[in-house]
Structure 1
Amino acid sequence: MAVPGEDEYRALRVAAGLSAMSSEGARLGLPASWCSVCLRHGGELVGMGRVVGDGGLFLFVVDIAVTPAWQGRGLGRRIMQALMDEVHSRAPARTMVGLIADGTAHKLYEKFGFRLVGPGAQGMLLRL
């Protein structure tokens, strides 16, 4: 499991169009990843993804990000495949695996078995 460094993590999220995260949050959160994938080119972080959660009941896919110069090359799919391989090999049966899909990203996640939950349920988020 490769976990990105705090600064490169924060920079890649912003470059990929995801929301900015705090230094303190990255320092505390990254080491607590259940699993993580980092794609590098010449040592530079160009893509990443993580799964967080308790490892038995609930897992959440987060931080699927690819730097713009590397988008459109199937890297997001490779990141998801690696994460889902880990989920299927380590998580117990009946574990609930969730995510929040921005924009049209749900099309990628559907390829891995994820389904939209609306209208029966709605995702909710509280940002501090």
Structure 2
Amino acid sequence: MTLVPQLSLEIPGADEYRALRSAAGLSAMTPEAAAVGLPASWCSVCVRHQGELIGMGRVVGDGGLFLFLFVVDIAVAPAWQGQGWGRRIMQALMDQVHARAPARAMIGLIADGTASRLYEQFGFKLVAPAAHGMLLRL
């Protein structure tokens, strides 16, 4: 095994996905939701160190009929945070978006806390006051 973490375009397994979300402080997902949602990813990136998932990110959306894609699940294990892995994950996802997304696609995300500073580096902008993001949580 290599000592340097490796980034690849792949979908994480449901159990490791759920474990990394929890370790990184993201909300918990059920095994059933992970089993359905992960294979439906438009794009997914994993960072592994000696086989262990230490970082990930996904883009979801149908990429065809509705030209809206959403960046989700940007997570890095606490021991690896602050080393630029979040930025590398975002770069890999955005490379895929620029290469594969249809013309006129809109890419959205919800930034928690100070994460907006990372996303601004990739051209994301707050939409207010021209528009307001809205959320209905069930």
User: TM-score normalised by the shorter chain: which range applies?
Assistant: over 0.9
Confirm whether residue 62 of structure 1 aligns to residue 95 of structure 2: no
Query: Which structure is larger by alpha-carbon Rg, 1 or 2?
Result: 2
Question: Residue 37 of structure 1 is aligned with which of 37, 40, 45?
Answer: 45
Find the counterpart in structure 2 of residue 82 from structure 1. 92
TM-score scaled by structure 2?
0.89
Structure 2: distance between partners of 1:46 and 1:111:
22
The two structures, once aligned, show a CA RMSD in angstroms of 0.9
Q: Which residue of 2 aligns with 1:22?
A: 30
C-alpha deviations, 1:78-105, integer Å up to 9, x for none? 0000000000000112101000000010
Counterparts of 2:73 and 2:135, CA distance in 1: 15
TM-score normalised to structure 1 length: 0.96
State how many pairs are aligned.
Answer: 128
Match of 1:72 among 72, 82, 85: 82
Structure 2 letter corresponding to 1:91 = A
User: Any gaps of 5 or more consecutive residues in structure 1?
Assistant: none
| Shift in Å, 1:119 | 2.5
CA-to-aligned-CA distance 1:56-79 (integer Å, 9 cap, x gap):
311000000000000000000000
**Cross-structure match for 1:10:** 18
**Structure 2 SS opposite 1:79:** helix
